[in-house]
A and B are shown apart, each in its own frame.
Chain A
Amino acid sequence: NAGVTQTPKFQVLKTGQSMTLQCAQDMNHEYMSWYRQDPGMGLRLIHYSVGAGITDQGEVPNGYNVSRSTTEDFPLRLLSAAPSQTSVYFCASSPWGGEVSYEQYFGPGTRLTVT
């Protein structure tokens, strides 16, 4: 299993540009999520999904869109990049609900710089 994969690893955008960060998992996990990591602030939840066709907002959703058309993929779209979105972005997946493990498996991250 490849686990959780993210592309690209690095990206530089100009203010106002749009782009999509890709995330895929091959563990058949229902739950997927996107976090951003900023110095001194830990990881903050942007959006999450509990299954195909179902998404919801996390703590910091403004400026980002998501969709979940398949169990495997959960892309994150930046609509109009701003310098405040400079961050490291992590995608994660986990089994969902009940007594199943809540462990979240993280991808390697995408380092995004907006100039």
Chain B
Amino acid sequence: GENVEQHPSTLSVQEGDSAVIKCTYSDSASNYFPWYKQELGKGPQLIIDIRSNVGEKKDQRIAVTLNKTAKHFSLYITETQPEDSAVYFCAALEYGNKLVFGAGTILRVKS
């Protein structure tokens, strides 16, 4: 089955700087890669996703890239703000609409 690895496990940045989180996946048949944000005490919420027929997608301060050949995808958050502090999860969709999640990245934005 699919295996997703996520790095780093924790990330501290100064407000206004950029943050990058990287993930790799193992199953070349996976074709959908979402990113979820989880605030303290809440369930994860989708912030951006990318399908395998697209190499890059952007939504305001958030962008995601996908390299199918290398089987890795990354999340970029620019001009970070304190409200970006949360746990971020990458995931890959395997057969049967099953999401396989990475272990998560704790992002702290220092003001």
Residues of B within 8 A of A45 (CB): 98-100
Please pick, from A42, A56, A58, A109, the residue contacting B104 in the complex, using a CB distance under 8 A: A42
Give the size of the chain A interface in residues (CB under 8 angstroms): 27
- Select from chain B the residue with minimum beta-carbon distance to A50: B97
- The total of Cβ contacts below 8 Å across the A-B interface reads 61
Give the size of the chain B interface in residues (CB under 8 angstroms): 25
- Select from chain B the residue with minimum beta-carbon distance to A94: B97
Please pick, from A40, A42, A48, A94, the residue contacting B89 in the complex, using a CB distance under 8 A: A42
- Select from chain B the residue with minimum beta-carbon distance to A108: B43
Given contacts A40-B103, A43-B89, A102-B34, contact A90 B43 (CB under 8 A): yes
Residues of A within 8 A of B (CB): 4, 31, 33, 35, 40-45, 48, 50, 56, 58-59, 90, 92, 94, 96-97, 102-104, 106-109
Residues of B within 8 A of A (CB): 1, 4, 6, 9, 32, 34, 36, 41-46, 49, 89, 93, 96-104
